[in-house]
Structure 1
Amino acid sequence: MFIENNTCISHKELAAFIDAISSETTFAQGTLQGTNVSTRWDFSGSFSFVVTVATTIGYGNLAPHTGIGKVVVIAYALIGIPLTFLMLQGIGGRLTQLSHRVNKLKLCSKKPALNKYLNMVLIIVIGVSLLFIVPTILFMKVEGWDLMDAIYYCFVTLSTIGFGDFIPALSENRFSRRADALTVYRIVTYVWILFGLAYVALIISYISNILVRKAEKVEQISRKKIEK
């Protein structure tokens, strides 16, 4: 279509066209293959961009190209990232309260130590099931990814690494021909990301506390040995 409408173009116009393609490689590839690719700045696309900026995931599939857009992103990030961290702390606090309630369960009342470990395993199983297993199955069904790719995407996203090699609702999937379903799918995905980030932060904090306690015990033992 471009060649038919532009049979004679200048070097400057050709360079601008190549720059436009290079900035939207996924869109260009999908166009050549005849598949649907969603990179539009509609509501769901803009919502996805806002979440990836505020959570510092930064897939890289959407980015501002104008000077004003770049200034707006900088201003938004300076305000949005701290507010997002505060929100994640609030969600993490709620999850902590929920974990404390689970810790009070008496699955094995005769052995308190065993009961504590059982409760911890229950918390991990519930969290992993809701934030990893269920999304993995969903992405396999909707996006057509295999098991390894879906698990890989969940981990890379919730750890805020965000390579951008796998992005939901970008290429053609089961909801591509239904705009309303695609919008809901995108929003649910990024709401999952917010809760998933809070849960992963909670797990990392829990592991860090265990390591700190172990280090303090080792320090106390070493200090006693040195004093003797």
Structure 2
Amino acid sequence: MALESANEEVEKREYQQRIDMFLESNNVNRTELEALLKYHAEKEKAGFVENKRPRWDFPGSFYFVATVVSTIGFGMTTPQTVAGKIVLIFYGFFGCAGAILFFNLFLERIITFLAFILRWLHEREMKRKGIGNDVKNSQERRSSEVSDTDSYDAWKPSVYWVMFILFFGAIVVACCASAMYYPVENWTYFEAIYFCFITFATIGFGDYVVSQQEAYPYVHFYRLGNFIFIVLGCCCIYSLFNVTSIVIKQFLNWILRKLNCQCRRRKPPPRGRRNAITPGHLQKNAKNTKPNNVTVDVDADSDSEGRRNSGEMISMRDFLSANKIALAMMQKQLWETSQRGMAHGSSSGFGGGVGPLMILNRKLGQDEI
């Protein structure tokens, strides 16, 4: 609001002054002029205005489909027929899903490649310091047991180095693309950089769109270069965003530790609670391994009959006698599941993940900050 509201008022005031001057000098009805301007804006958006290339020739249609499946959605071209909108819904669904799969595959491959490069640099640095022979011998001993792929997957590069390399790669792609865009589209270099970020991040405002003029020099090479830069830029920015999310997650975990927020800590049930059930053979292990675990005596009280008649929970002895085997098996499975969950993620904070986050958690070493 602070940055844009003042400029909005200035532009609105200038527009009204320009319209008033035109109406006074040409004696035109305001309602008719506004209807004409609205009609002109609609047709300009559809690509019918002079000096605009056809929107629905094959290159224009291909460009439109690419903006749909990549979720950029500039909005400079939209289907106007009912049949076109219906087809868009179907191929857009599968196309967007395929594009996300492609981005995830690119993310996994580029992280694997960067891990290979960073490992090579690490081994070279270790060798320069004179301790590379021991590392090499240990790797040779492990090579007889595991494959090269497993060996590289076991080594986790620093997430900060990966983020820096992806950031540098995205900057290089954006600068090269801007060097191609700004002279051809008659933009400033900053406008070209702005367009690259909006496009590569799949934001797609539509205020700047390439390949909209009627004619271009070397148009086929320009369209090919535009396609290559958009694909590379979207892949790089997508990978950079996901790696940056790992750093943000680590920062949030650091804040939680500083604030002493135990987000995932379970509160033990109060002592004497009657519906807390633990199998007998697990109570002994729990007492030996987890001193804070609370075990409850399940003997029946003398007032169990009265509580049963009053609608309260029945005693543990009555309940176990009716469901002894099934309940014991269920409790054993629940206890084992909880133990596995505590073993994999007992610390508080943000962890785990699906999709690209799972790929990064598996590929990168998440050094806590």
1:201 aligns with 2:201: no
2:166 and 2:236 in contact (8 A); partners too: no
Distance in 2 (CA, whole Å) between partners of 1:154 and 1:120 is 19
- Note the C-alpha offset of 1:119: 7.2
- Note the C-alpha offset of 1:28: 4.8
2:162 and 2:243 in contact (8 A); partners too: no
Secondary structure of residue in 2 paired with 1:61: coil
Distance in 1 (CA, whole Å) between partners of 2:162 and 2:73 is 35
1:215 aligns with 2:231: no
1:145 aligns with 2:160: no
The gaps in structure 2 that reach 5 residues or longer are: 1-35, 130-157, 263-369
- Note the C-alpha offset of 1:102: 3.2
- Note the C-alpha offset of 1:166: 1.1
Q: In the alignment, what sits opposite 1:45?
A: 60
**Structure 1, residues 114-156: CA drift from partner, whole Å, max 9, x if none?**
xx77776454323321x21100111112212111110110011
1:159 aligned residue (182, 198, 201): 201
Change (3 A) 1:120 1:60: closer
1:23 aligns with 2:42: yes
- Note the C-alpha offset of 1:19: 8.0
Q: In the alignment, what sits opposite 1:71?
A: 86
Distance in 2 (CA, whole Å) between partners of 1:24 and 1:184 is 29
Distance in 2 (CA, whole Å) between partners of 1:146 and 1:78 is 36
Higher normalized contact order (CA 8 Å, seq sep 6+, divided by chain length): 1
Alignment size in residue pairs: 197
**Structure 1, residues 50-72: CA drift from partner, whole Å, max 9, x if none?**
01111121111111111111111
Secondary structure of residue in 1 paired with 2:260: helix
The gaps in structure 1 that reach 5 residues or longer are: 1-16
Q: In the alignment, what sits opposite 1:128?
A: 171
What is the TM-score normalised by the length of structure 2?
A: 0.47
State the percentage of identical aligned residues: 25
Q: Which runs of 4+ in 1 moved over 6 A?
A: 17-20, 116-119
Distance in 1 (CA, whole Å) between partners of 2:163 and 2:183 is 31
Larger helix fraction of residues: 1
Q: Please identify the structure whose Cα radius of gyration is greater.
A: 2
Q: In the alignment, what sits opposite 1:12?
A: none
CA RMSD of aligned residues (A): 3.2
